[in-house]
Amino acid sequence: MPDSQHVLRIEQLRQQLNEHNHKYYVLDQPSISDAEYDQLFRELQALEQAYPELLTVDSPTQRVGAEPSGAFAEVRHQVPMLSLANGFTPEEIQSFHNRIVKLLELDEQQQVELVAEPKLDGLAISLLYQHGQLVRAATRGDGQRGEDVTANVRTIRAVPLKLRGDNIPDELEVRGEVYMPRSGFDVFNQTAEARGVKPLINPRNGAAGSLRQLDSSITASRPLAIYAYSLVIDQNLLPTTHAEVLMQLRAWGLPVSPLVKTVQGSDGCLQYYADIGSQRAQLDYDIDGVVYKVNRLDWQDELGFVSRAPRWAIAHKFAAEEQVTTLEAIEIQVGRTGSLTPVARLKPVFVGGVTVTNATLHNQDEIRRKDVRIGDQVIVRRAGDVIPEVVRSLPERRQQNLLEYQMPTVCPECGSPAEREQDEAVLRCTGGLICPAQRKRSLEHFAARGAMDIEGLGSKLIAQLVDQSLVMSPADLYRLDLSTLSNLERMAEKSAQNLLDELEKSRHTTMARFLFALGIREVGEVTANDLAREFGGIERLRSATVEELEAIDGIGPIVAQRVHQFFGNLQNLEIVDALLAAGIEWPKPQQPDNSAQPLAGNTYVLTGTLEAFSRNVAKQRLEALGAKVTGSVSGKTTAVIAGGDPGSKVAKAEKLGVDVLDETDLQILLGSE
């Protein structure tokens, strides 16, 4: 049994080690040498081994890794981890700032305050703390769902297992970027051979690969670090600005980039971009740009989101890296919608941190404009995660007369004619689902996470099913049996049964997922949600007119036309009917209780600054009463609700004869709750 001296010493060592970790990783002010730290660490380790009943999950010794796990559990993010829109030129950053000024209906000369910070080239991570202790870490994944990598993240010394200070909410989520410092990467690779491990390709791949190790002791051997950049908690507990959020994260013991700075307007952004660019080579970590975020959180709330990105933030990317190599061939890839995309096969070249062998050439017009020919020396560009592209050829280096490249007139996969629609640069195969390439891509899309989410139905298995004529359309997937699947290459009976179980599970879905899975051109997950919410059932949607579709907020004429064309195609309707006959279903939408939705059928537009709450809260409360809230004024608008300093929407409403209400009128409307 441990005596009081041992208990006290263990507590002292933990406090000392946690304090030294904080000084090293957060304050960047180490106060002892590595050798002294290791001595304290080993003493604590020895005491905990002698008295295991005193071991706690937040001890500094609990970062060495656990036994290998079989797989990563799925984590659904309560608040999606969104990506950012990108800007590359000063003009795009100026447009971003002007757009914020316009959306907030500010004075055109006003300079919006933004927080600027380096954009690390690592892996986004979510850290969930309950009562101050780290309980879960998850990767970003597809933004909606990630992987549980808690055991691996616990090995990163820069991540506090227990938060410091007072006034810590019962539950909070920290988001940040895990990265591998260049210095650590260099040391790891220099000693890799002696330790019998493979060198890492680059710091970014090293960080991403380290977090996805099933054996967390491997992660523990990697030199990983983290910078926190945002906080997800009850909005009532948030500070008023993003800068204050970062200060709070630092106070709780989380590392925050020391290069974060508050700037004014687009000029301040561009100056920061230039300053960070000049320091880039001296930093101990890779960055691929900087990020600008509106500082005021109430303005962030008001600006909201578009598709999968916030309107209040943008990533200003650095110029892409470029290298010269040889274009050895051009191959044609056939996409899900029949698009014929020329792909350059290149002599391998190291650019942007990876070895590139393929690059997109986009279409025939781009090939002609860039004067790209097989055998040419070409400039290849890669920026961050962007697909490599051929920038241009170097005709002055041509050794002979090379032929101009011509796109095929027929599909290379099925021989159907390839046609170019009016006002489109893309050539498309006209074969539809008789084209095996389109069928494969369509099935891959159908089975994807955001669609029917059929785990185990990957591209190689789909290729077998299509090539053996076992699956001609998505509905055929639900006719597969154990015997058929078990006879496929690399499909044991257990794998076959797992896939059948996944197919059975996918029969119970949502209308939005089903619509997205159908692969209607221009219909992404957001639009699919809008359509499902508006129509509730397939029958109403398939009979909708273009005008009815266009009337939905967020759906323009092109998307409306695509949806109408899809449901006007007999072959598509047969596939939809076959899928429904196969048992695909979703909960029927509940009929709205008109007594609880007194504003049903009304459409409002909000403008100006409200005093009682933000426009976003007002929007939510109006929608809860059955109203539709849109961003533009039209003849169908019931009324415009104007707060302080309203913009041009009031003038447009008056011109169209639309009622203009003030905040008192809004309170009366909401009073019907």
Does the structure show a pLDDT above 60 at 265?
yes
* Statement: residue 464 has pLDDT above 70: yes
Instruction: Answer with the residue of higher pLDDT: 487 or 306.
Output: 487
For residues 392 and 366, what is the distance between their CA atoms, to the nearest angstrom? 9
Cα separations (Å) of 4 from 9, 38, 159? 9, 24, 30
Chain segment 118-169, per-residue pLDDT in tens:
999 889 999 999 999 999 999 998 788 889 999 999 999 999 999 998 889 9
| Mean pLDDT of the region 226-235 | 91
User: Is it the case that residue 70 has pLDDT exceeding 70?
Assistant: no
Catalytically active residues, by annotation: 119
Angle at 453 between CA 452 and CA 459, to 5 degrees: 100
Query: Which residues are CB-neighbours of 526 under 8 A, at least 6 positions away?
Result: 307, 308, 554
**Mean pLDDT over residues 327-340, rounded?**
94
Q: Where does 118-241 have alpha helices with state H?
A: 150-153, 182-195, 203-211, 216-220
Q: What is the pLDDT of residue 22?
A: 78
pLDDT at 301 over 70: yes
d(CA 81, CA 126): 9
**Residue 605 is inside which H or E element, if any?**
strand 603-607
- Which domains does the chain carry? 4-54 (1.10.287.610), 86-262+282-314 (3.30.470.30), 432-506 (1.10.150.20), 511-581 (1.10.150.20), 603-671 (3.40.50.10190)
Residue 64 — pLDDT band, cuts 50, 70, 90? Answer: low
| Beta pairing partners, 355 | 350
CB neighbours of residue 313 within 10 Å: 21
Q: Do 367 and 405 form a contact (C-beta atoms < 8 A)? A: yes
Task: Burial-class residue 127 by CB neighbours within 10 Å (0-12, 13-18, 19+).
Answer: buried
Residue 594, pLDDT score: 55
The whole-angstrom separation of Cα 428 and Cα 227 is 45
How far apart are alpha carbons 254 and 158 in whole angstroms?
8
Identify residue 438 by its one-letter amino acid code. Q
- Please state, as a whole number, how many other Cβ atoms lie within 10 Å of the Cβ of residue 467: 11
Average pLDDT over the chain, rounded to an integer: 88
Cβ atoms of 433 and 571 closer than 8 Å: yes
- Model confidence at 249, pLDDT cuts 50, 70, 90, reads very high
Contact between residue 653 and residue 625 where contact means Cβ atoms under 8 Å apart: no
Residue 456 is predicted with a pLDDT of 92
pLDDT at 47: 87
| DSSP string for residues in 439-497 | HHHHHHHHHSTTTT--TT--HHHHHHHHHTTS-SSGGGGGG--HHHHHTSTT--HHHHH
Region of poorest pLDDT, from 42-51, 64-73, 239-248, 353-362: 64-73
What global pTM score does this model have? Answer: 0.66
User: What pLDDT does residue 636 have?
Assistant: 80
- pLDDT at 232 exceeding the cut of 70: yes
Residues constituting the chain? 673
Helix residue ranges, H only, 196-283: 203-211, 216-220, 242-251, 265-279
Rounded to whole angstroms, how far apart are CA atoms 281 and 385? 20
pLDDT band at 673 (very low <50, low <70, confident <90, very high): very low
- Answer for the pair 546, 564: CB distance below 8 angstroms, yes or no: yes
The answer to whether the beta carbons of residues 179 and 120 sit under 8 Å apart is yes
551 vs 232, higher pLDDT? 232
Tokens representing 371 are 């004067």
CA-CA-CA-CA torsion sign (390, 391, 397, 399):
positive
- Nearest-angstrom CA–CA distance, 268 and 343: 40
Instruction: Read off the amino acid at residue 617.
Output: V
Over range 376-386, report the average pLDDT.
Answer: 80
Indicate the pairing of strand 287-294 with strand 113-120: antiparallel
The pair of three-digit structure tokens given for residue 142, joined into one six-digit string: 């597809």
The answer on pLDDT for 653 being more than 50 is: yes
Instruction: Report the distance separating Cα 130 and Cα 112, nearest Å.
Output: 35
Task: For residue 442, give both structure tokens.
Answer: 């369509």
What values do phi and psi take at 364, rounded to 5? -60, -40
Q: Which of 16-25, 381-390, 423-432 has the highest mean pLDDT?
A: 423-432
CA distances from 206 to 193, 198, 289 (A): 16, 11, 19
Q: For residue 206, which of 229, 227, 223, 231 has the smallest C-alpha distance?
A: 223
Q: Distance (Å, rounded) from C-alpha 171 to C-alpha 79?
A: 14
Burial bucket for residue 177 (CB in 10 Å: 0-12, 13-18, 19+): buried
Higher pLDDT, 437 or 205: 437
The helix (H) or strand (E) run that includes residue 136 is strand 133-139
> Half-sphere exposure of 429 toward its Cβ, with a 13 Å CA cutoff?
26
Please give the residue that has the higher pLDDT: either 40 or 340.
340
pLDDT digits (tens, 9 = 90+) for 23-37: 776 676 778 876 787
